A = this chain, B = another copy of it.
Amino acid sequence: MEPGAAGDSRPAKPGPCVSGAALAASGEPGRRMPTVAAVLPAGGCGERMGVGTPKQFCPILERPLISYTLQALERVCWIKDIVVAVTAENMGVMERIVQKYQHTRVSLAEAGVTRHRSIFNGLKALAEDEPGCKLSKPQVVIIHDAVRPFVEEDILLQVALAAEEHGCSDYDLEFGTECLQLALKYSDTKAKLVEGSPDLWKVTYKRDLSAAESIIKERISQEICMVMDTKEDTERVGYLLEEVLKKELNNVKIVSGVRSHGGRDIQQITLPQCYNFVCVNGAASDFPETQQLLSVLEQSSLSILYPVVVVLVYFLDFKSVPLGQKMESLMWIREFAKEVKKRNILLCGLLICYPQDEQTLQESLKQGAAIIAALIKDRNPGLIGQLLVA
């Protein structure tokens, strides 16, 4: 069995900077952290991928793979600078990626003809002691593949500490049979083998892109934030829906809160890194309130990195309003969804029939949960603006 294999299914949170306790947790609380930078050789052309685009630029949920790798490194506070080595022809592409996805600690260097040349150029950029240079010379440099997006802080920490202690200038993380070869290869140098985990796998083939997309989709589907309208009756059904969601999607963390009619308190309801919102609206709930909610989401810059799913839930009383009429009154969602799609928000409507007898209501709520799960899991932009009925 390969080392650490059981950890493959562990969903790590896509979040902001996670560091701090890391060094303490490493078991060496007295030790001083070296200054660390990272170099990413990203000059590859992606032959094996069988697609035209170099693999580090292949999109996952419309964002290039390398941006996920940069995000993983930027989450680690003690990595001060990240240098990406790209070919001259991709320099512009890379600059736009850094800007669009707001990578703040990234500098670019030109890739060489080989991986080692690219690494050398990256190191040179870090070593230059010119006045005005924003990069500072680090004690340890981590060389990380641009196409290993799932690297975690603990492994980076182990590598950085090992590098400082053993003086290895590079790190290699491999699994299974190749570990032995690696150990042998380095046997007469000051080297230390740091065990990797299967999370560290490299995106090589087209199927790896699909796997990466699935992992990312799963990670950002772990939490749902429910925003309830204050109308008393809606609130009751809202909480019933919450109960059913908790039961049906039992791996998903669900938090909820009531929206007062100013909209300002939404920030307090939402989780810091939640990409899924279910908004339970009262019968009279209207467009301005939804618009307010979406403005808060847009300002939060949540959707810069991942598409955010927003499901607007309405309860429908068949006896007082026919389905058709209700649907027509909600047709604004269609146009509005196109608008917010531009800001990477995927908006849908969900109608749940209410009141009805207890059993039918439970069935509707279950179906509603299945629809919400489908929208969140697949995150398919082809379905924005639709009014779904449970």
Chain A residues at the B interface, C-beta cutoff of 8 Å: 1-2, 5-10, 47-51, 177-178, 181, 198, 201, 205-208, 210-215, 322-328, 331, 334, 370-371, 373-374, 377-378, 380-383, 386-389
The reply to whether A8 and B210 contact each other, CB–CB distance below 8 Å, is no
- Residues from chain B with Cβ under 8 Å of A212 in the complex: 207
Partner of A327, one of B1, B2, B213, B327: B327
* Chain B residues, CB < 8 A from A9: 49-51, 206
Q: Find chain B residues with CB under 8 A from A371 CB.
A: 382-383, 386
Interface centre among A323, A383, A387 (most CB of B within 10 A): A383
**In the complex, A214→B207 CA distance in Å?**
8
Kindly report how many copies of this chain are found in the complex they form together: 2
- Our pick among B2, B10, B214, B324 for the contact of A328 (Cβ within 8 Å) is B324
Known contacts A48-B1, A325-B324, A389-B334, A380 near B382 by CB under 8 Å: no
**Which 5 A-B residue pairs are closest in the complex by CB-CB distance?**
A324-B324, A374-B382, A210-B214, A9-B50, A370-B382
Contact B8–A207 (Cβ < 8 Å)? yes
A208: chain B residues at CB < 8 Å are 211
Cα of A10 to Cα of B1 in the assembled complex, Å:
30
Closest chain B residue, CB of each to CB of A181: B177
In the complex, chain B residues whose CB is within 8 Å of the CB of A2: 48
A1-B47 contact in complex given A206-B9, A327-B323, C-beta closer than 8 Å: yes
Quick check: A328 and B322 within 8 Å, CB to CB?
yes
In chain B, what residue has the closest Cβ to A373?
Answer: B382
Q: Which residue of B lies closest to A199 (CB)?
A: B207
In the complex, the chain B residue whose C-beta lies closest to that of A9 is B50
A8 interface neighbour in B205, B215, B374, B380, Cβ under 8 Å: B205
Q: How far is the CA of A8 from the CA of B47 in the complex (A)?
A: 11
Contact (Cβ within 8 A) A215 B205: no
Contacts of A327 in B (CB 8 A): 323-324, 327
- Report the Cα distance A84→B210, complex, angstroms: 29
A6 to B204, CA, bound (A): 11
Cα-based distance from A181 to B178 in the complex (angstroms):
11
Residues of B close to A325: CB separation below 8 A? 324
Docked Cα-Cα span, A373 to B382, in Å, equals 8
Minimal Cβ-Cβ distance residue in B for A178: B177
Q: A48-B8, A211-B211, A214-B214 are in contact. Are A383 and B374 (CB under 8 A)?
A: yes
